[in-house]
Amino acid sequence: MIEEQAIVTHVEQGQVWIKSLQTSACGGCSQQAGCSTATLAKILPKREFALESDLTLKVGDSVRVQIDDSHLILSSMLLYLLPLIVTLTIVCLANAFLPILENWLPEISMATLLLTFWLIHHFHAPLLVKFSLKPLITGKI
């Protein structure tokens, strides 16, 4: 299990909105001056998201949130492996059944890859949070 601390930002009808407290791991790294990850961690805002919880929580409470490791592997496969499989499948089918499009295979593969990424981006909230990540609030701190 991966565990992180968060703070409750607001509560409404059985859902608790939380925001991560943990800072980037870049703070102790000696390479942070030239690293793009450290720069992104400073620029990008931390996101809030809603979780269902049976605990009695109020705004400002610190909570412990856990995510199962196997769900992260499933999410990684969805985000990285699925676009490649879809692209290769479409290109193989186009090559096998539509030989007249042989000169257009690079364009077909790029369009398929971009469309798959767009679909995953468009539906990422219901796919990742509701079906695979399933973070749990395990208690107050």
Measured over the CA atoms of residue 109, residue 111, residue 114 and residue 117, the dihedral's sign is: negative
User: Which has the higher per-residue pLDDT, 38 or 1?
Assistant: 1
User: Closest by alpha carbon to 52, among 22, 12, 19?
Assistant: 12
Residue 44's pLDDT is 45
Task: Please state whether the predicted TM-score (pTM) of the whole model is above 0.95.
Answer: no
The yes-or-no verdict on residue 129 having pLDDT over 80 is no
Residue 43's pLDDT is 47
The yes-or-no verdict on residue 76 having pLDDT over 70 is yes
**In what helix (H) or strand (E) does residue 32 lie, and over which residues does it extend?**
none
41 C-beta neighbours (distance < 10 Å), count? 16
Q: How far is CA 51 from CA 34, 66, 129, in A?
A: 36, 12, 9
Mean pLDDT to the nearest integer, 49-74: 82
Mean pLDDT to the nearest integer, 25-31: 66
Amino acid, res. 73: I
**Average pLDDT score over the chain:** 80
Structure tokens at 60: 């400002």
